[in-house]
Amino acid sequence: MFDALFSVSPILSQIPTRPQREGRASTFQDEQGKIKAIDYKLISVPIQRKLEDARGMTLQEFVETAREPGTGVGKEMMRGLFEMLDKVTKETGNVVNCGGKPIDSTSFLDLLDKVQIDFTPEGIPHWPSFCSGSTMQAQLQEQFPKWLVDPAFQTRLGKIVERKREEFFERETCRRLVD
């Protein structure tokens, strides 16, 4: 079941989890230091199996029937994740809207300018992953190599990377370590 859940999107397997063994409420601290309550949402996928349905199945086929609810839960989790991300990015102003047009180099750099980028101690960027639809992915695969040879694109990208590097090292310098 969990294999099916994580197969919906690689994002789900990259989200760190923390088991909560008791209580019905919890909080977290966001990047700005605000304490926020976690809004728990029940995710359920109704499934019904009858004993007759399993007759004639091999063990492997029977075990595979557990994939259906796992996939359903994974899809619901992704839907909730995208709804939450949409809400948060609109609240913070971290939205880049191309107005229905294909993404261009300026919009891509605007997008890169709005995300947090971490770096290695040597100053090498850990480039973020972006989640997009298949149409945008195809556009990026076609256009990105062309953008990389454009001197104006390279100059602005270099400025963004340098500013993000300074922000990262400032963030790391001011970070409070816990025992």
In the chain, domain spans: 2-92, 105-174
- Residue 149 confidence (pLDDT): 96
Q: DSSP letters along 104-152, please?
A: -HHHHHHHHHHS--EE-TTS-EEPPP----HHHHHHHHHHHHHHHT-HH
State whether residue 156 is helix, strand or coil.
helix
| Amino acid identity at 161 | V
**Where is pLDDT greater, at 78 or 131?**
78
- More confident: 81 or 65: 81
**Mean pLDDT for the chain overall:** 88
* pLDDT at residue 179, rounded to an integer: 54
Query: Does residue 39 surpass a pLDDT of 90?
Result: no
**pLDDT tens digits for range 83-125:** 988 988 888 888 888 888 888 999 999 999 999 999 999 999 9
Q: Note the pLDDT tens digit of each residue in 2-30.
A: 788 888 888 888 888 878 888 888 888 87
| For residues 37-59, average pLDDT | 84
Residue 125 phi, psi (nearest 5): -70, 145
Interstrand relation of 118-119 and 27-29 (parallel, antiparallel or unpaired): unpaired
**Residue 27 main-chain phi, psi, to 5 deg:** -135, 165
Model pLDDT, residue 45: 86
What whole-number percentage of the chain has pLDDT above 70? 98
Instruction: Tell which residue, 135, 127, 131, has the closest CA to residue 160.
Output: 127
